Amino acid sequence: MTSRLTDLSVAEAGEGLRTGAFSSVELTRSLLDAIERARDANAFITVTPEIALERAAASDARRAEGTAAGPLDGIPIAIKDLFCTEGVLTTAGSHILDGFVPTYESTVSAKLRAAGAVMLGKTNLDEFAMGSSNVTSFYGPVKNPWGPKDGKDLVPGGSSGGSAAAVAGRLSLAATGTDTGGSIRQPASFCGIVGMKPTYGRCSRWGIVAFASSLDQAGPMAGTVRDTAIMLGAMAGHDPKDSTSAPVAVPDFEAALTGDIRGLRVGIPKEYRIDGMAGEIDALWRQGVDWLEAAGAETIEVSLPHTRYALATYYIVAPAEASSNLARYDGVRYGLRVAGDTLDEMYENTRGEGFGAEVRRRILIGTYVLSAGYYDAYYLKAQKVRTLIARDFSRAFETVDVILTPTAPSDAFAIGDKMDDPITMYLNDVFTVPTSLAGLPGISVPVGLSARGLPLGLQLIGRAFDEETVLRTAGVLEQAAGFDVRPAAGAG
């Protein structure tokens, strides 16, 4: 076991709490101190030390009484600031939610709390989770702890950039994220941690600020595959308050980590070998194939022919749903209000001032593709192509058990890069968006470093509600890669 409490994994810290090597209050204090020292990283929008220490003390009291709940009891975690938290400012990274303090708790954060997890604070994110760099947050960009590189600060990826940076920078043992088109997996790859988007419907969306309701899914971000499995076990489960939450049993995800993938059939989709793919990404992907084969898996080339249309499909469906979901920010019920002489003027002023450039762009695109005369040509067409994309995966999963791809087309880029043209930024999600459109589980596992010394991840995709196979394979990949490099900012 490492000497610094902040360096522990969730599983190691749980062991330390069980054996009495340290208390939850001690563990929580060490992380709160680390957060304080790393203020400059801007990973958190709100830090909640009083709540954290109170819950840590309550956990210690439960342990003393012998009523500790399970593997997360007393474990400090961070919550993406897209989850509503009772009595704690919830911003979604947007100016338009100024001063919004929910009077209720999201189902996922409530489940983590019930499991004894200790909330350290709310992490930064792209505004309304729309972005791949955390640069669109009203609260400013987050610095990736792997930077600076060549004199420039790096993005942590996005939209769950604060959560990824917090885990990678050893400011939190684990964190929640949300993923609509890659917002857990891409930042996990950029920051050298594990991030999983579960099957659509696995975790309740109730109390999560909505972006695109048919795509949004909460998931865990952590340092190891085991920690990810532990977190998912607490976050998942049917919730009557979310009609799209699946009434399926939650398996013991940690027990799925047997390390045995002999005979597993791993699909390698040929369409993911895109034009102009960086040589080091391709090499790492081939290395991943070798690792899984060495562990006894069989790799099979599969075809996902509609992959090339996934991003365009996503950039119709997601903005359309966003324009509808974000109609609720009207300056009447919560958040920012900018005065106007008439009701319409008040709406226009509030929304004109409250939304940032990327959110505004997506609301306009969404409004346009849903407007009279264009609905069939854009939205309906996109939903049909989406059916074809999902069908591609169904066919592939007739012959394979899991699919291996890169997570992102590059390593972390500098803050301010890729801002000239929105589509350049959208291309970050080329490997993660198809999975989201099909509602399937996907995980990013850190497996190596780029030539610039920055982390890179590989993605595993599974059948709907088969997170166990995804996690088991991820565990083998993690073991084979032996990725244990830490960013300088988190070392000490």
* DSSP three-state, residue 11: helix
Amino acid at 397: F
Q: Name which of 67 and 303 has its Cβ closer to another protein.
A: 303
- Interface map 427-446 toward another protein (x if CB under 8 A): -----------xx-------
* Shortest distance (Å) from residue 53 CB to another protein: 26
321 to 340, contacts with another protein by CB under 8 A? 323, 327, 330-337, 339-340
Nearest distance, CB of residue 434 and another protein, angstroms: 13
| CB of 433 vs another protein, minimal distance in Å | 13
- The residue length of the chain stands at 492
Give me the least distance between CB of 436 and another protein, in Å please.
9
204 among known catalytic residues: no
Instruction: Select 283 or 364, whichever has its Cβ closest to another protein.
Output: 364
Task: Say how far apart CA 451 and CA 453 lie, in whole Å.
Answer: 5
- Rounded to an integer, what distance in angstroms lies between the CA atom of residue 114 and that of residue 359? 34
Q: How far is Cα of residue 26 from the mean position of the Cα atoms in its chain? A: 28
Identify which range of 23-31, 203-211, 362-370, 401-409 contacts another protein by CB under 8 A: 362-370
Strands 194-197 and 442-449: antiparallel
Contact predicate 393/438, CB 8 Å: yes
The C-alpha atoms of residue 17 and residue 64 are separated, in whole angstroms, by 11
CA distance 28 to 6: 9
* C-beta closer to another protein: residue 102 or 156: 102
92 binds another protein (CB under 8 A): no
Residues 376-415: x where in contact with another protein by CB under 8 A, - otherwise, as a string: -xx-xxxxxxxxx-x-------------------------
CA dist., res. 108 & res. 233, Å (int): 11
Residue 1 or residue 375: which is nearer to another protein going by CB? 375
Q: Which class for 95: exposed (0-12), middle (13-18), buried (19 or more C-beta within 10 A)? A: middle
Phi then psi for residue 444, to 5 deg, are -110, 130
Distance CA 126, CA 129 (A): 5
DSSP state of 269: E
Per-residue contact track with another protein, 216 to 255, x per CB under 8 A? ------------------------x--xx-xx--------
Catalytic residue (choose from 80, 122, 143, 197): 80
Residues 97-136 that bind another protein (CB under 8 A): 99-104
DSSP designation for 83? B
Is 263 a residue that touches another protein (CB under 8 A)? Answer: no
Per CB under 8 A, does 306 bind another protein?
yes
Which residue number, 222 or 461, has a Cβ lying nearer to another protein?
Answer: 461
Q: Show which residues are catalytic.
A: 80, 159, 183
